[in-house]
Amino acid sequence: MERRPAQALTEAPRGRFGAALAAAAGVALLALSACSSSPKDDPNSQASLDKLYADARDDLSSGSYDRAIKTLERIEGRAAGTLMAQQAQLDLAWANYRAGERAAALTVLDRFIKLNPSSPALDYALYMKGLVNFNEDLGLFGRMANQDISERDQQASRDAMLAFKQLVEQFPESKYSAEASVRIDYITNTLAKYEVHVARYYYNRGAYLAAANRAQQSLSEFRYAPSAEEALYLMVQSYDKLGLPNLRDDALRVLKLNFPNSTLAAKGYSEKAWWKLW
């Protein structure tokens, strides 16, 4: 699955939002022609704002995100309450995201969503919020140790899924909904794997009750995820260690029923632990 930011996010949202912004700018420019003041005289004039925005777009295109952020913040303040301010907010979120300032990007997006619930660009903002939280960078240690994304804390993944789900449910016809649906499936599987990873961690340390409960939680929340097989296997093994044959046999029956060719049921674990570097 493609996990890089969608190309559309490097550009301003189009359609009704972009057209309305262009129309508003055109009307303002016509009004300015009847005035004697110049852009230099009025830093809040539409011409001055247009010049600032053009500069910010150039900086975004060239990757000068820190400079773009400062310019977009100025535009947002000067054009408050206008479509240009909304556009500046969206570009500001993108610039912060690209600059690695994820917390700042999320703050901007949350503000946009709260203040502009009827904006035609709300679907874009929700998609961006999901994307910012959809962070797959494991870091140097994770890559060295072959650590799986499911083995890290998953709060950001849950936040991403909530944003993507809101997008799909509220804007099913949005051009961003199809990709959001794919990401929802991926995150669901990742979260399920994370729960199983925690259950395995408990089991390997002899905390069999905690292992069984965490595996059960994974099945309750993500019963159709591929990791359901391992969750059932951990329940079988944990109940066996706890001396609970009835629960063990019930879990084994469900495991064999749903995964008749399960290699876990037949052979148990065989893969190398993620933390072994050799």
Give mean pLDDT in consecutive 10-residue pieces for the chain, a chain of 278 residues. 37 46 45 45 78 93 94 91 92 95 95 93 96 66 49 81 96 96 93 92 95 95 91 96 96 94 82 42
Query: What distance in Å separates the CA atoms of residue 66 and residue 56, rounded to the nearest whole number?
Result: 10
Say what the pLDDT of residue 79 is.
86
Say what the pLDDT of residue 43 is.
67
Long-range contacts of 161-168 (CB under 8 A, 24+ apart): 161/130, 161/187, 161/188, 161/191, 163/126, 163/127, 163/129, 163/130, 163/133, 164/126, 164/127, 164/130, 166/126, 167/123, 167/126, 167/127, 167/130
> Residue 276 domain-assigned?
no
Q: Same domain for 45 and 159?
A: yes
> Residue 239 domain-assigned?
yes
> At 177, which CATH number?
1.25.40.10
Q: Same domain for 184 and 212?
A: no
The domain boundary residue, chosen from 153, 172, 190:
190
Q: Same domain for 16 and 141?
A: yes
Query: What distance in Å separates the CA atoms of residue 242 and residue 237, rounded to the nearest whole number?
Result: 9
Q: Same domain for 146 and 210?
A: no
Contact 219, 193 (CB under 8 A): no
Q: Same domain for 142 and 48?
A: yes
* DSSP helix, strand, coil percent of the chain (3-state; round to 5): 70, 0, 30
Say what the pLDDT of residue 271 is.
52
Query: What distance in Å separates the CA atoms of residue 42 and residue 27, rounded to the nearest whole number?
Result: 17
Domain membership of residue 91 as a residue range? 7-29+40-190
The domain boundary residue, chosen from 168, 190, 212:
190
Per-residue DSSP letters for 123-154? HHHHHHHHHHH-----HHHHHHTT--GGGS--
Q: Structurally, how many domains does the chain consist of?
A: 2
Q: Same domain for 106 and 157?
A: yes
| C-alpha to C-alpha distances, 75 to 13, 92, 97, 159, 226, nearest whole angstrom | 17, 10, 18, 29, 48
> Residue 174 domain-assigned?
yes
Q: Same domain for 174 and 253?
A: no
CB atoms under 10 Å from CB of 60, counted, come to 23
> Residue 251 domain-assigned?
yes
Q: Same domain for 18 and 155?
A: yes
Q: How many CA atoms lie within 13 A of 207 on its CB side?
A: 11
With 0-12 CB in 10 A as exposed, 13-18 as middle and 19+ as buried, what is 192? Answer: buried
> Residue 274 domain-assigned?
no
Say what the pLDDT of residue 264 is.
87
Q: Same domain for 157 and 215?
A: no
Q: Same domain for 170 and 219?
A: no
Q: Same domain for 210 and 148?
A: no
Q: Same domain for 256 and 118?
A: no
> Residue 273 domain-assigned?
no
> Residue 275 domain-assigned?
no
Q: Is the pTM above the cut of 0.85?
A: no
The domain boundary residue, chosen from 169, 190, 211:
190
> Residue 90 domain-assigned?
yes
